[in-house]
């Protein structure tokens, strides 16, 4: 099938490459010329394991091309909208200008029978409005909402073998021709047994925001438990293991630490609250305000604990921060809790050195005033305190004896609760976790 993918960010670039892998003829479109040039040269514009190999593989087949012109979408039968919906500056709501621009730019190139598939995360009600725009311009084309659940760091696998496919279509009927068409696009996944649910448009939009809100709530729940554990000297990691064994609860997303960040969870829960307010249903989501507040409190808690570790004063203390990305296997620093903590420590007078295997260039663009060091050993040298804030495998595997030989004072704050406290203490370190005695 001939497919266009509009927007080649995290979502679109991976989606375009994966659709070509599935055997389709794909054109990826983005207004950013550098991004398109990179992608056309099989270079991923961001770090995502497996993406560059996949780009190189599918480009040899000739099935994947890139363009900066929306006119390149003409002749495709299925058009995926994959542009970003960031948080609006100064408010909680989502900025829909890229989605609106993409759709309005696309409609002149639609032909009868074409299918427009929305994948961006949008406030509920958006898809119905966009379906009207499609209908007015090309009455024989359809719009379907197909939310994307991919995780950064696992984006290729999540796209090729998703947990589920959700199709939102006006009327929510399985018999709709748009459903059959999208089934053809995803034939390989469906044959492999991926469950597929057909819903109406608002339900499909809500599935995505509800899923992200649930994940954020789960993380903030365990972080609230970490606060209690700290108050009584209990261990939140064992608490999570024990409650996680109840398969109604499940152990995943119960890792207490410095909280969630990234380009999705924080902005999605805020946009969801804003949208609920517009719909007169804000009471239904007031709990998300608390979820957000617990999450942001983690960052100040880490700053306070670091001050304690540094004998009550941060002034002039050399602090090494291990990790800048919002999570491992990513170079994304959008709303990264690690980087936010590093910046706060610097503002309070500490001399902060940040290291990360992949995210330093992005971090330096965001916070140019911090000191960055590529080599872990150099970053650790002469530190008064070490903070593990993004749990890259390299940091989990650090040898406490070798690290002790580099630092000035053996003090470590494990912001992700991934180190073995007894091992580090045995090597002479003062170890602090979050919600751990
Ligand atoms: C998320 C959703 O998981 C994905 O389905 C959606 O499509 C986009 O948003 P992503 O932003 O890639 O994906 O990251 P995710 O793996 O969900 O982690 C989000 C944040 O939560 C990270 O900062 C991570 O460190 C943190 N986290 C995760 C915790 O603090 N504790 C946990 O137990 C799990």
**CB 256 less than 6 A from any atom of ligand 1:** no
Give me ligand 1 centre to Cα 388, in Å.
Answer: 18
Sequence length of the chain is 437
SS3 at position 53: helix
Residue nearest to atom 31 of ligand 1 (CA): 255
Determine the straight-line distance between the first and last CA of the chain, rounded to whole angstroms.
57
pLDDT of residue 173: 96
- Can you count the helices (H) and strands (E) in the chain? 18, 14
Would you say the CB of residue 212 lies under 6 angstroms from ligand 1? yes
* CATH code assigned to 2-199: 3.40.50.720
Q: Which helix (H) or strand (E) holds 290?
A: helix 286-309
Catalytic residue chosen out of the listed positions 8, 18, 229, 264: 264
From the CA of 261, give the closest atom in ligand 1. 23
Query: What tokens were used for 80?
Result: 């995926």
Pairing of strands 318-322, 196-199: unpaired
Q: What count of Cα atoms within 13 Å lies in the side-chain half-sphere of residue 259?
A: 26
Q: What is the pLDDT of residue 327?
A: 97
User: In angstroms, how far is CA 322 from the centroid of its own chain?
Assistant: 19
Q: Which CATH number fits domain 200-437: 3.40.50.720, 3.40.50.300, 3.10.20.740, 3.40.50.261?
A: 3.40.50.720
CB 379 within 8 A of CB 346: no
**Cβ of 260 below 6 Å from ligand 1:** yes
- Pocket probe for ligand 1: among 154, 256, 327, the residue whose CB has the most ligand atoms within 8 Å is 327
Q: Is the shortest distance between the CB of 253 and ligand 1 below 6 Å?
A: yes
- Closest ligand 1 atom, residue 390 Cα: 25
**pLDDT tens-place string over residues 212-263:** 999 999 999 999 999 999 999 999 999 999 999 999 999 999 999 999 999 9
Q: Which two tokens stand for residue 51?
A: 């993406």
Which H or E run includes 26? Answer: strand 25-29
Domain borders along the chain are 2-199, 200-437
Residue with tokens 């375009």: 16
Same fold, 2-199 and 200-437: yes
Q: Quickly tell me which residue has 């507040």 as its tokens.
A: 293
Strands 351-355 and 318-322: parallel
CB neighbour class for 112 (10 Å; exposed up to 12, middle 13-18, buried from 19): exposed
Q: Is the CB of 26 under 6 A from ligand 1?
A: no
Question: Beta partners for 178?
Answer: none
The span from the CA of 220 to the CA of 222, in Å, is 5
What does the block give as tokens for 396? 């989990």
Q: How far is the CA of 367 from the centre of ligand 1 (A)?
A: 22
CA 283 – CA 290 distance, rounded (Å): 12
- DSSP, res 390: S
User: Cβ(334) to ligand 1 under 6 A?
Assistant: no
Distances (CA, A) of 279 to 118, 167, 199, 346: 22, 23, 20, 41
> Do residues 115 and 42 lie in contact, with contact meaning Cβ atoms separated by under 8 Å?
no
Atom 34 in ligand 1: residue holding the nearest Cα: 253
> Is the C-beta atom of 434 inside 6 A of ligand 1?
no
Find out whether the beta carbon of 208 lies less than 6 Å from any atom of ligand 1. Answer: no
Cβ–Cβ < 8 Å for 397, 420: no
Q: Whose CA is nearest to atom 17 of ligand 1?
A: 151
| Structure tokens, 347 | 């503002």
Question: What pLDDT was estimated at residue 73?
Answer: 98
- Residue 152 CB less than 6 A away from ligand 1: yes
Compute the distance from residue 326 Cα to the ligand 1 centre, in Å.
9
Ligand 1 pocket mutation, candidates 237, 265, 389, 396, criterion most atoms within 8 A of CB: 265
Does residue 11 have its Cβ closer than 6 Å to ligand 1? Answer: no
Q: Whose CA is nearest to atom 26 of ligand 1?
A: 260
If residue 422 lies in a helix (H) or strand (E), which one and from where to where? helix 421-426
Q: What phi and psi values does residue 385 have, to the nearest 5 degrees?
A: -155, 145
- Give the Å distance between the CA of 240 and the centre of ligand 1: 17
For ligand 1, mutation pick of 120, 147, 150, 215 (most atoms within 8 Å of CB): 215
Nearest CA-CA partner of 331 in 295, 377, 364: 364
| 82: annotated active-site residue | no
215 lines ligand 1 (CB under 6 A): yes
Q: How far is the CA of 292 from the centre of ligand 1 (A)?
A: 14
What's the distance, CA 79 to chain centroid?
Answer: 23
> Which parts of the chain sit beneath pLDDT 50?
none
Nearest CA to ligand 1 atom 5: 149
**What is the chain's Cα-based Rg?**
23
For the chain, what is the largest distance between any 2 Cα atoms, rounded to a whole number of angstroms?
Answer: 72
DSSP for residue 88:
P
| Residue 413 contacts residue 320 (beta carbons within 8 Å) | no
């Amino acid at each position: 099938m001939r497919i266009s993918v509009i927007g080649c960010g995290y979502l679109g670039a991976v989606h375009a490459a994966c659709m070509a892998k599935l055997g389709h003829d794909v054109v990826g479109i983005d207004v950013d010329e550098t991004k398109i040039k990179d992608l056309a040269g099989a270079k991923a514009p961001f770090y995502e394991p497996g993406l560059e190999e996949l780009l190189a593989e599918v480009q040899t087949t000739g099935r994947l091309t890139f363009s900066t012109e929306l006119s390149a979408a003409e002749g495709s039968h299925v058009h995926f909208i994959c542009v970003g919906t960031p948080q609006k500056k100064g408010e909680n709501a989502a900025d829909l200008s890229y989605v609106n621009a993409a759709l309005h730019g696309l409609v002149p190139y639609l032909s009868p029978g074409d299918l427009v598939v929305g994948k961006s995360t949008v406030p509920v009600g958006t898809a119905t409005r966009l379906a009207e725009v499609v209908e007015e311009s090309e009455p024989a084309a359809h719009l379907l909402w197909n939310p994307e659940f991919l995780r950064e760091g696992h984006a290729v696998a999540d796209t090729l073998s998703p947990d589920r496919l959700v199709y939102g279509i006006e009327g929510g009927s399985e018999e709709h021709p748009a459903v059959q068409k999208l089934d053809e696009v995803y034939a390989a996944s469906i044959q492999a047994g991926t469950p597929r649910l057909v819903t109406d448009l608002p339900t499909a939009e809500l599935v995505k925001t509800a899923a992200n809100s649930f994940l954020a709530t789960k993380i903030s729940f365990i972080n609230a438990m970490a606060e209690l554990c700290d108050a009584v000297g209990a261990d939140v990691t064992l608490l999570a293991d024990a409650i996680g064994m109840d398969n109604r609860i499940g152990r995943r997303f119960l890792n207490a630490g410095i909280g969630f960040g990234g380009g999705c969870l924080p902005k999605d829960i805020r946009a969801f609250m804003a949208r609920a307010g517009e719909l007169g249903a804000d009471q239904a989501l007031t709990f998300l305000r608390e979820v957000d507040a617990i999450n942001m409190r983690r960052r100040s808690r880490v700053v306070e604990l670091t001050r304690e570790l540094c004998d009550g004063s941060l002034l002039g203390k050399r602090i090494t921060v291990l990790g800048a990305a919002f999570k491992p296997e990513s170079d994304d620093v959008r709303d990264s809790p690690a980087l936010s903590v590093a910046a706060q420590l610097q503002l309070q007078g500490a001399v902060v050195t940040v290291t990360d295997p992949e995210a330093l260039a992005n971090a330096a663009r965001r916070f140019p005033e911090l000191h960055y060091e590529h080599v872990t050993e150099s970053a650790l040298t002469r530190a008064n305190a070490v903070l593990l804030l993004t749990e890259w495998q390299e940091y989990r595997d650090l040898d406490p004896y070798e690290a002790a030989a580099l630092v000035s004072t053996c003090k470590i704050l494990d912001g992700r609760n991934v180190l073995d406290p007894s091992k580090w203490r045995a090597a002479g370190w003062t170890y602090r976790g979050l919600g751990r005695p």
